[in-house]
Structure 1
Amino acid sequence: MRAVCEHVCAHLRNWRIITKLRLHARHATALLRALLVLTNIEVAR
Structure 2
Amino acid sequence: MVVTGFKATRARKLTPAEKEANRVLAAGRAPVERGFAPLKNWRILTKLRTDPARATHLLRALLVLANIEATTGK
TM-score band w.r.t. shorter chain = 0.5 to 0.7
Normalising by structure 1, report the TM-score.
Answer: 0.61
Gaps in structure 2 of 5+ consecutive residues: 1-27
The percentage of counterpart residues that share the same residue type is: 55
State the superposition RMSD in angstroms: 2.2
Decide which structure has the larger Cα Rg and report it: 2
Gaps in structure 1 of 5+ consecutive residues: none
Normalising by structure 2, report the TM-score.
Answer: 0.44
Bigger relative CO (Cα 8 Å, ≥ 6 apart): 1
Report the count of equivalent residues: 44
More helix by share: 1
